[in-house]
Amino acid sequence: MTDAERDIFLRSQPICRVATVGPSGHPHTSALWFVWDGTALWLNSTERSRRWSDLTRDPRISVIVDDGGTDFLRLRGVELQGRAEVVGEVPRKGEPVDELTVPERLFGDKYAGGAFRYDGRHGWLRVLPDTVVSWDFGKLRQPTT
């Protein structure tokens, strides 16, 4: 995917799959809602989840966003690898944090009818990817020039 195609794709997809490293060194994978701001992937995670405890102990993360169903030539996706960092208070109760203005607006628009809601159980994780890999098997149909 081009950068523009990747950005459109990441903004349109509802769910990502987050892989973390557990205390035993084994991977843990979970599905989660997310937003993409064009530079960072933002995860709004419960602070009592295994994902949260894994990432606060070892911030290495891999995230996959994909779609396509059963038709091979419709498969497409993006994998982002990097480190997750906590942004804002934990749990998030709404204290003003400039860095969270955009992700909370994007999250509210995408999942909550335009208004982000604080529940006192979630916190924000920002993933600034070191590596981004994308695929779009639909492009295999296109002739090469």
> Does some domain include residue 99?
yes
> Does some domain include residue 32?
yes
How far is the C-alpha of 11 from the C-alpha of 55, rounded, in Å? Answer: 23
Return the pLDDT at 134: 96
Pairing of strands 76-87, 122-136: antiparallel
Return the pLDDT at 36: 98
Return the pLDDT at 138: 86
Return the pLDDT at 144: 64
> Does some domain include residue 143?
no
How far is the C-alpha of 47 from the C-alpha of 121, rounded, in Å? Answer: 6
Block means of pLDDT (10 residues each) for the chain, 145 residues, are 96 97 96 97 97 97 92 91 98 96 97 94 97 92 68
First vs last C-alpha separation in the chain: 17
CATH number at residue 122: 2.30.110.10
Give rounded-to-5 percent helix, strand, coil for the chain: 30, 40, 35
Name the 3-class secondary structure at 55.
Answer: helix
State the residue range of the domain holding 30.
3-137
Domain count, the chain: 1
